[in-house]
A = this chain, B = another copy of it.
């Protein structure tokens, strides 16, 4: 007998499930949907699987979000919102410019490694030509503070004569993003091609160190 107190327990009646608040339900659905869209993309995602994973039912999704598309946008908003929130806690401006930019890389690399679903959602969104990101007012409002940080650190570094001049902030940002994300977005094909496990922590750590060196070598005035 696995649970001898079952008889005493008030839950002998088969209740469908304990009632949760609308908020809780919304959160559960969003979580399940994030995993589903990250794993299968928009077209491959299945409402039924989300429902099951969230312990909810199809009607609730449509009550709370309105449509599969809207739910997908909500996962994007949520994942990008979390990134923006963390970005705002970065305190790089008091640092040495080179150190600041390397910390920025560390942050981005770390955030994406910790949040694989964000990488996957961005992949899915690029497959859809960023259609939804472009339409979401909430996402457009949450513009990243990182480009500005990059700009300021670069300017200070150049002014202090310690960083190479003529580096465009946006292009630098894209290079940093490339060094932070590419290996994550392409883990599977690369691991397969080279018969190595690129998701292993050691591999990632070594690669991060290399990328950091590459970035430093580029930035430092020579």
Q: Which residues of A contact B (CB under 8 A)?
A: 40-44, 120, 122-130, 133-134, 143-144, 147, 167-168, 170-172, 174-175, 177-179, 181-183, 185-194, 196, 198, 206-207, 210-211, 213-215, 217-218, 220, 222
Task: Describe A's contact surface by its main secondary structure.
Answer: helix
- A203, chain B: closest CB distance, angstroms: 8
Q: Contact between A193 and B126 (Cβ–Cβ < 8 Å)? A: no
Known: A43-B43, A182-B182. A130 touches B192 (CB 8 A): yes
Identical chains in the assembly: 4
Q: Which of B40, B126, B171, B217 interacts with A123 by CB under 8 Å?
A: B126
Q: Contact between A218 and B207 (Cβ–Cβ < 8 Å)? A: no
Q: Contact between A122 and B214 (Cβ–Cβ < 8 Å)? A: no
Q: Contact between A125 and B213 (Cβ–Cβ < 8 Å)? A: no
Q: Which of B128, B130, B182 interacts with A181 by CB under 8 Å?
A: B182
Q: Contact between A177 and B168 (Cβ–Cβ < 8 Å)? A: no
Q: How distant is the Cα of A220 from the Cα of B220 in the complex, in angstroms? A: 13
Q: Which residues of B contact A43 (CB under 8 A)?
A: 40-41, 43-44
Known: A133-B193, A134-B192. A206 touches B168 (CB 8 A): yes
Closest residue of B by beta carbon distance from A187: B126
Q: Contact between A126 and B189 (Cβ–Cβ < 8 Å)? A: yes
> Can you give 29 contacting A-B residue pairs, CB < 8 Å?
A41-B43, A41-B127, A42-B44, A43-B44, A123-B126, A124-B127, A126-B187, A126-B189, A130-B189, A130-B192, A133-B192, A143-B193, A147-B194, A167-B210, A171-B206, A171-B210, A172-B210, A174-B207, A175-B179, A175-B207, A175-B214, A178-B178, A178-B183, A181-B186, A182-B182, A214-B214, A217-B220, A218-B218, A222-B222
